[in-house]
Amino acid sequence: MGRFRDALSASGLQGIAEVKRRSPSVGELRAGADPAELAASYERAGAAAVSILVDARFDGSWDDLRAARAAARLPLLAKGFFSTGEDLRVAREAGADAALLILRDLDDEAARRLLVAATELGLDTLVETHDAEELGRATRLDAPVIGINARDLSTFAIDRRAQLGLVASAPRDRIIVAESGIESRAQGAAAELAGADAILAGSALMRATDPARKLAELLSRPLVKVCGLTRAEDVAAAAGAGADMAGFVLAEGSPRRAEGVLPVPETMLAVSVEVGEPCEAEADLIQLYPREQGKVRGRDAVLLREGREVAKVLDLPWQEPDPAHLERARAANGRIMLAGGLGPDNVRAAIDAVRPWAVDASSALESAPGVKDHGLVRAYVEAAR
* Number of structural domains found in the chain: 2
For 367-370, which contacts have Cβ atoms below 8 Å and span 24 or more sequence positions?
Answer: 369/228, 369/255, 369/256, 370/228, 370/229, 370/230, 370/231, 370/255, 370/256, 370/257, 370/258
Angle at 9 between CA 219 and CA 64, to 5 degrees: 70
Assess contact for 243 and 269: CB atoms under 8 A: no
Same domain, 229 and 187: no
Beta pairing class for 124-129 and 98-102: parallel
CA 309/CA 176 separation, integer angstroms: 19
Domain boundary, last residue among 172, 187, 219: 219
* Other Cβ atoms closer than 10 A to 6: 15
User: How far lies 106's CA from each of 102, 172, 245, in Å?
Assistant: 7, 24, 40
Same domain, 166 and 233: no
CA 211/CA 18 separation, integer angstroms: 9
Helices 35-45 + 211-219 axis angle, to 10: 30
CA 266/CA 181 separation, integer angstroms: 11
Same domain, 186 and 82: yes
Domain boundary, last residue among 200, 219, 238: 219
Same domain, 241 and 296: yes
User: How far lies 157's CA from each of 125, 126, 149, in Å?
Assistant: 25, 21, 11
Same domain, 150 and 263: no
Query: What torsion, rounded to 10 degrees, do the Cα atoms 88, 92, 98, 104 define?
Result: -20
At a CB cut-off of 8 Å and minimum separation 6, what does 343 contact?
361, 364, 365, 376, 380
Among 319, 320, 362, residue whose Cα is nearest residue 338: 362
At a CB cut-off of 8 Å and minimum separation 6, what does 147 contact?
100, 126, 127, 128, 129, 176, 177, 178, 179, 200
pLDDT score, position 12:
95
Same domain, 105 and 235: no
Same domain, 55 and 191: yes
CA 372/CA 63 separation, integer angstroms: 53
CA 52/CA 79 separation, integer angstroms: 6
Domain boundary, last residue among 166, 190, 219: 219
The separation between CA 377 and the C-alpha centre of its own chain, rounded to angstroms, equals: 23
pLDDT score, position 25:
75
CA 189/CA 289 separation, integer angstroms: 22
Indicate which CATH number applies to the domain containing 273: 3.20.20.70
Assess contact for 89 and 112: CB atoms under 8 A: no
CA 13/CA 266 separation, integer angstroms: 20
Same domain, 85 and 169: yes
Same domain, 178 and 282: no
Half-sphere exposure of 164 (CA within 13 A, CB side): 17
| Angular region, 168: left φ>0, alpha ψ -120 to 50, beta rest | alpha
Per-residue pLDDT of the chain (385 residues; tens, 9 = 90+): 799 999 999 999 999 999 999 887 778 888 889 999 999 999 999 999 999 999 988 999 999 999 999 999 999 999 999 999 999 999 999 999 999 999 999 999 999 999 999 999 999 999 999 999 999 999 999 999 999 998 877 777 888 899 999 999 999 999 999 998 899 999 999 999 999 999 999 999 999 999 999 999 999 999 999 999 999 999 999 999 999 999 999 998 899 999 999 999 999 999 999 999 998 889 999 999 999 988 899 999 999 999 999 999 999 999 899 999 999 999 999 999 999 999 999 999 999 999 999 999 999 999 999 999 999 999 999 999 9
pLDDT score, position 29:
81
Same domain, 204 and 348: no
Angle at 132 between CA 163 and CA 287, to 5 degrees: 40
Range of the domain at 17: 3-219
User: How far lies 177's CA from each of 207, 255, 285, 304, in Å?
Assistant: 21, 41, 21, 21
Amino acid, single-letter form, for residue 198:
A
Same domain, 356 and 256: yes
CA 323/CA 209 separation, integer angstroms: 44
Same domain, 227 and 253: yes
